[in-house]
Structure 1
Amino acid sequence: MSLRQYEYALAVAEEGSVTAAAELLRVAQPSVSQQIRGLERELGVQLFTRTPSGLVPTVVGRAFLREAEVAVNAARRARATARAGADELVGELLVAAQMGLGTRQLPSALSELRHRFPRLEVTVFEEPNPAEMERLGRRGVLDLVLVAATCDEGNAVAHHLGDEEFVVVLGAGHRLLAEDRVELRDLGAEPWVRFDRDSTLDCVMQDVLRDNELAPATVARVSQTGTAIRWAAHGLGITLVPATAVPQDYEHLTRRVSPAVSQPVIAGLRHGAGPAELALLELLRQETWHRSPTPAPAGAPAR
């Protein structure tokens, strides 16, 4: 058995078909089929069964794939550690960020990391669903995560980077733009642009609405902070997002809220983190994490 066979089997399980796995791996479809058949012959078991929805792992296959994933991740990290010199990091770094967190800080830190170590490959996922973040963490496929809740110490070591303050985004010409700070109780009659129900950002909104006894109309649900901000700016409804998620061109349409709304930003590093993860953590610590917009003067023209 080889790590390549493990990787092919994991890709088939992830994609549900040999064709999709081949596209993901950027290899010919017959090569994937051949590797899977060879692996099954060597193991003496059937790893996948065909269903109307595609290939799914058998019971034995699921058990095998759990161990195969551990082996592939361990091999990748071992290569990265072995090839890491004092002045060079080589390998792959997998990072996941909860949607809305580190919108400015993470790209800044990653840019500096790549500038220092140009041979380091970095892949970043932005995930709105906390359950999916937890699943990825349990699988051990991530090197570093940015989340708003304390990480499970069984899977990662938590480092508190700071706190993200939330701001309300208002439409151009909105009456509340004349205020330096908006009272949450004054937003009850406003229509709201909200996020998908299973997202962490919508959980924040739910808490804000409940704690302030608000029951406003929801005019739209979106999956990305950028979409919510643009729609709010065009007057569809107001929205509540982390301050650093707001592009500069829209900052004049944001206001801090009272009572203040914020959430912690936690960096979770896998146990036994390597030099690449530690270098990124140090760069993230140097970023400013509590950032609130400076309100534009009342009557300032929209940009």
Structure 2
Amino acid sequence: MSLRQFEYALAVAEEGTVTAAAERLRVAQPSVSQQIRGLERELGVELFARTPTGLVATAVGRAFLREAEVAVSAARKARATARAGADELVGELVVAAQMGFGTRQLPDALGALRRRFPRLEVTVFEEPSSAELERLCRRGVLDLALMAACERSPADAHHLGDEEFVVVLGPGHAQLAADRVDLRDLHEEAWVRFDRDSALDGVLLSVLRDNGLTPATTARVSQTATAVRWAAHGLGATLVPASAVPQGHEHLVRPVSPPVSHPVIAVLRQGAGPGERALLDLLHRETWTDSAASFSPLS
């Protein structure tokens, strides 16, 4: 088996046809077909089922492709590390953040990284589920992840700071007159919540229960910005990390009492290269604490 075969198989799985995969890889179609057939013969299994609409990975194929993805990603990182110099870094980084975490800090750090290494490609996505984020870390798919907690060793996990959570209220809400909102004063409030399996909804539910509240749910959303905007339209209160509040909504936001905060942990892949470490250094330079103070009426 070769790395090229892995790349061809992944391209076929993503594109659904040999023709589309060949176009993407910029190689002749027969070459892709030959490599896939050779890979299947060597493995002694069928990786793809041939259907009228294209190729679909079999159950065995999906398991193989998961490992092939890890191998190809590792090879790309190895090439990037080998080619890294004092003034140039090329390759690809895959970064994931627990939804709502680092919303302000991560773009600043990535912008600085891009200016420093313009040829370094970075893919970033938000993951609502902390369990899924942990699983992706264990598989080695991610180069760097931001999350509230992890089971990795101290050598891989770095505490950047803490995200304080704030409440977002509708215009004219009586509690906006307070410097901090006592959560128990929101006992009659309806809430804009998040998807049931998301870490943010777990935080909201835990905080409310700790303060003797049973939330009435008016809506469930998938993004922090959507939750803030819906709360700003009077659909209900919501609870989000302070850095996740979109610009223009600061006047509707207050810190809560008792304070709610979660640590922000940066987890590097094992054997992290210079790109990951440069990004980690930039993240350490960002401000991660006291962000909720700016939402006080007296600020």
Task: Name the TM-score, length of structure 2 as normaliser.
Answer: 0.89
Contact kept in structure 1, 2:15 and 2:21, CA below 8 Å: no
| Residue of structure 1 in register with 2:187 after alignment | 188
Contact kept in structure 2, 1:49 and 1:55, CA below 8 Å: yes
| Residue of structure 2 in register with 1:127 after alignment | 127
Compute the displacement of 1:173 (Å): 1.2
Q: How many Å separate the matches in 2 of 1:148 and 1:21?
A: 40
Q: How many Å separate the matches in 1 of 2:260 and 2:105?
A: 19
| Residue of structure 2 in register with 1:240 after alignment | 239
| Residue of structure 1 in register with 2:100 after alignment | 100
Q: How many Å separate the matches in 2 of 1:102 and 1:23?
A: 38
Q: How many Å separate the matches in 1 of 2:82 and 2:225?
A: 40
Q: How many Å separate the matches in 1 of 2:163 and 2:40?
A: 49
The change in CA–CA distance for 1:230 and 1:113 in structure 2 (over 3 A counts) is: same
Q: How many Å separate the matches in 2 of 1:178 and 1:67?
A: 55
Compute the displacement of 1:30 (Å): 4.6
Contact kept in structure 2, 1:254 and 1:293, CA below 8 Å: no
Q: Which one is further off, 110-119 or 62-71?
A: 62-71
Amino acid across the alignment from 1:216? P
Amino acid across the alignment from 2:124? V
Q: How many Å separate the matches in 2 of 1:65 and 1:285?
A: 35
Compute the displacement of 1:186 (Å): 0.8
Q: How many Å separate the matches in 2 of 1:50 and 1:77?
A: 33
Q: How many Å separate the matches in 2 of 1:171 and 1:23?
A: 53
Contact kept in structure 2, 1:16 and 1:55, CA below 8 Å: no
Q: Does 1:145 align with 2:148?
A: no
> What are the residue-to-residue correspondences of 1:1-303 with 2, within 5 Å?
1-13=1-13, 15=14, 17-18=16-17, 22=21, 25=24, 30=29, 33-49=33-49, 55-59=56-60, 61=61, 64-153=64-153, 157-290=156-289, 291-295=291-295, 297=297
Compute the displacement of 1:88 (Å): 1.4
The change in CA–CA distance for 1:132 and 1:19 in structure 2 (over 3 A counts) is: farther
Give per-residue Cα distances to partners, 1:176-225, cap 9 Å, x unaligned.
11111100001110110000000000000111111011013100000000
Compute the displacement of 1:248 (Å): 2.5
Q: Percent identity?
A: 72
Contact kept in structure 1, 2:148 and 2:263, CA below 8 Å: yes
Q: How many Å separate the matches in 1 of 2:145 and 2:78?
A: 20
Q: How many Å separate the matches in 2 of 1:244 and 1:208?
A: 19
Q: How many Å separate the matches in 2 of 1:58 and 1:235?
A: 47
Give the secondary-structure state (helix, strand or coil) at the position aligned to 2:256: strand
Contact kept in structure 1, 2:224 and 2:240, CA below 8 Å: yes
Give the secondary-structure state (helix, strand or coil) at the position aligned to 2:292: coil
Please, what is the CA RMSD of the aligned residues? 2.9
Contact kept in structure 2, 1:11 and 1:24, CA below 8 Å: no
Task: Name the TM-score, length of structure 1 as normaliser.
Answer: 0.88
Contact kept in structure 1, 2:18 and 2:33, CA below 8 Å: no
Give per-residue Cα distances to partners, 1:245-301, cap 9 Å, x unaligned.
012210111001001011110000011111001100000000000111424648xxx
| Residue of structure 2 in register with 1:301 after alignment | none
Q: How many Å separate the matches in 2 of 1:100 and 1:241?
A: 7
Amino acid across the alignment from 1:135? R
Contact kept in structure 2, 1:146 and 1:268, CA below 8 Å: yes
Amino acid across the alignment from 2:148? A
Give the secondary-structure state (helix, strand or coil) at the position aligned to 1:142: coil
Compute the displacement of 1:12 (Å): 4.6
Q: How many Å separate the matches in 2 of 1:175 and 1:20?
A: 62
Contact kept in structure 2, 1:243 and 1:293, CA below 8 Å: no
Compute the displacement of 1:19 (Å): 7.2
The change in CA–CA distance for 1:29 and 1:57 in structure 2 (over 3 A counts) is: farther
Residues matched between the structures, number: 296
Q: How many Å separate the matches in 1 of 2:48 and 2:249?
A: 50
Q: Which runs of 5+ in 2 are unaligned?
A: none
